[in-house]
Structure 1
Amino acid sequence: MSLNRTLLILLPLLGAAPALAQTTVTGQPATGGANSATSGGQNAVTRPNTDHAQDGKPASTGALTNVKLEKGANSFTETEARHRLEKAGFQQVKDLKKDADGIWRGAAALDGKPATVGLDFKGNVAVQ
């Protein structure tokens, strides 16, 4: 068998070897990730504190007054900030402005009552 013929047979097999190696699962998932209570800074968190925003239930005023908004570089656009506040149960969200600490602040209504609201870079929502 000639060298060229041998290479033609072996090259496709060699090309498949890296793809097979990529499908191998090794080790266990990492544990002990930071959450919003323990991150102490601008670390990513698993789920932002939007007080039931993920299940479509409106937020309660009491739970939102205890949330501490954190300073940090906020990449949310005004539209994204408005959407997060609305998803947390606020209506008539208006006058949103990002302050020097990177926190979106504005006016809204919750259960028909006026409220001053804030949204930090992690997605935490609070009544001010």
Structure 2
Amino acid sequence: MAEKYQVRKFEPVNNSSYQFFEVAVNGKFQFQEFVDNLKDEQRDLKKLNAIYGYMDSLSPSNLLPKTKFRPIKCKKCKNVYEFKKNDIRVYVILERPDVFVILGAYKSNQDLDIKKIDKLFNGFEM
């Protein structure tokens, strides 16, 4: 079954170089589900706010260090990157000038999350 995508503006980020959107797959916003089920809500929200700051500062002229933003190797998907702070990961697809927030996760699940990205976002186009 082909996945159906819809997007909405990603409100936490105000970036002058890129437009950020959150992607739903078959009606489910994967990132929002992650936020709604954080393990240690207060501590994890602080980490997420730091990641939102990284997203705000991303630009073609401001390359973030690999400790904060790096490409992810997926078998089927292209242009997948992760923003990271400690054990929190926010996965995006970068299609300049747009950035699509696709998934939030913990580092401990990274291998499974990359497989999930390949499954859900293979053929993703906007």
- Scaled by the length of structure 2, what TM-score is found? 0.27
Bigger Rg, structure 1 or 2: 1
Structure with larger RCO (C-alpha < 8 A, sep 6+): 2
Larger strand proportion, structure 1 or 2? Answer: 2
- Scaled by the length of structure 1, what TM-score is found? 0.27
